[in-house]
Every structure is written in structure tokens, then in C-alpha cells.
Amino acid sequence: MAKSTKNLRFRMTKQQEAINKRMREEIKLQRRKQLWQKRRSPIKGIGLFATLPIRAGTPIIEFKGRVIPWEEGAIMLLRGANHVIKFDAKHDMDARPQWSPAGYVNHGCYPNCAIKKKRGGLWLTSIRPIEQGEELLIDYDFDLGEEFEPCRCGHPRCRGLMLRRKDWPKLRKLMSKVL
């Protein structure tokens, strides 16, 4: 009898450990949710804002959405979609806000976040310390061949367009031929 009681305690301990592990994971997720808040943005409609100070390298929120072939992503971009993110060499992610609040992150010429691949998903991750109340921004890095928009980030050194930096010399060359 004593031996079976000991085994029962051992099993209970294993079950308790599993429950405790799940609870710790849920607490981590709750803490992560507390890092951001969706609210009105001076840049464009709705944006994400830091609710607490955030250290550099901190995963903030995971992008959710459909993983699609890159050809479908290219067609969506040509039709004006702006929530298509490169997932890997052959796939993109349709990361519209209906899939995840991370889709509300706005463009900034001098961003405080980047999209990083972690744990098999795409995460909005801080690239520098972020102050409480600061809007979370990424550089959309549109290609010259894509339909890009004027930038409204309001930074003193704003580039004026949501175009990736390496395409600016090509754009200047094209503009000099036109003008």
C-alpha cells in the first residue's frame, strides 16, 4: 500500500508540474499582451502603442494570418493590399488586422520595431528601447516595383515615401529622366 501511495504522489507531482508549466506560459502570454495597446494614431487611423517601457530585443506581439504562396502575395500587393509580409523564400503572410492586432502596426522611417521570425512565426520585436506611450513602428520597406505611398510618420528626417532605402538612388535616377 505504501508503495502505491508513493507512486500516486509522484504522478500528482508530475500532473502539478504540467499544470504549473501551462500556467507560467499563460502568464507570459498575458504579460506580452500588456506590452501594447491599440488606439488612434496620428500617422494613420489606428496604431499600436507601448503600454510599458520595452527593452530592445523583446518580442511584443505575434503576427497571425494565412501563409500563402509568394505569387498570391504579389498579386495582393499589386491590388493595393498593404498587410503582406514575406514569410520565407516561397511564402508570404496575409497579416491583415482581422487575423491579428499586429496588423495595425504603422510605418515609420526611423522604426523602433522589426519583424523577426521566432518559434515558427513572425513577431513584432523591439530593435531599441521603447518608452511607455510611444507608437510601435516598423519600416514597411516597399520595393520600387511595388505600389508605395507617401509617408506620414512625422519624423524630422522622414524620407517622404514608404520606399526601402536601397531603392532611393534608382528612384532619383528615374525622376531625373522624367523631369
**Which CATH number fits the domain that encloses residue 171?**
2.170.270.10
Over residues 78-100, the pLDDT tens digits come to 787 777 888 888 888 888 777 78
Containing domain of residue 65, as a range? 35-178
Assess if residue 19 is contained within a domain: no
Over residues 2-56, the pLDDT tens digits come to 555 555 555 557 777 777 776 666 666 655 557 999 999 999 889 999 999 999 9
Assess if residue 28 is contained within a domain: no
Assess if residue 115 is contained within a domain: yes
Handedness of CA 12, 17, 20, 21 (dihedral sign): negative
Assess if residue 1 is contained within a domain: no
As a whole number of angstroms, the distance between CA 143 and CA 103 comes to: 19
The C-alpha cell 499600436 sits at 48
Of the chain, the percentage scoring pLDDT greater than 70 comes to 81
Q: How many domains does the chain have?
A: 1
Task: Please give the span between the terminal C-alpha atoms of the chain, in angstroms, as a whole number.
Answer: 93
Assess if residue 15 is contained within a domain: no
Assess if residue 68 is contained within a domain: yes
Tell me the C-alpha to C-alpha distance, in Å, between residue 119 and each of 6, 62, 74, 97: 38, 10, 25, 21
Give, as one character, the DSSP assignment of residue 150: B
